[in-house]
Amino acid sequence: MTTSPLTAGGFAALANGAVAMTALHLTAGLDPLHGMISEYAFHPHGWLLGTSLTFFALGAAMLAVEMSRRGTGRATVALLGVWSTCMLMIAAFPTDRPGMSLSMSGGIHRYAAFTAFVSMPVAGLAVAARGGRHAAALRGLSLAAAGFLILVLVPYVVRMFGMDPGAVPAGLTQRLVVVTEVVVLVLIGLSAAVGRDGARARARVAARLDGAGPRVRPAAAA
Q: What's the pLDDT at 222?
A: 35
- N- to C-terminal Cα separation, the chain: 55
Find the range with the poorest average confidence among 6-20, 76-90, 185-199: 185-199
Residue 14 has φ and ψ, to the nearest 5°, of -65, -40
Q: What's the pLDDT at 28?
A: 86
Find the range with the poorest average confidence among 22-26, 97-101, 137-141, 183-187: 97-101
Residues 6+ apart with CB under 8 A from 180: 141, 144, 145, 148
**What residue segments make up the domains of the chain, in order of their start?**
5-203
Residue 143 predicted with pLDDT over 50:
yes
Q: What's the whole-number mean pLDDT along residues 30-52?
A: 91
CB distance 52 to 21 below 8 Å: yes
Q: pLDDT-derived band of residue 165, with 50, 70 and 90 as boundaries? A: low
Q: What's the pLDDT at 210?
A: 55
Residue 187 predicted with pLDDT over 70:
yes
Q: pLDDT-derived band of residue 208, with 50, 70 and 90 as boundaries? A: low
Distance CA 108, CA 115 (A): 10
pLDDT in tens, 13-40: 999 999 999 999 999 888 888 889 999 9
Q: What is the mean pLDDT of the chain?
A: 85
Q: Is the dihedral of CA 88, 94, 98, 101 positive or negative?
A: negative
Q: What's the whole-number mean pLDDT along residues 45-66?
A: 96
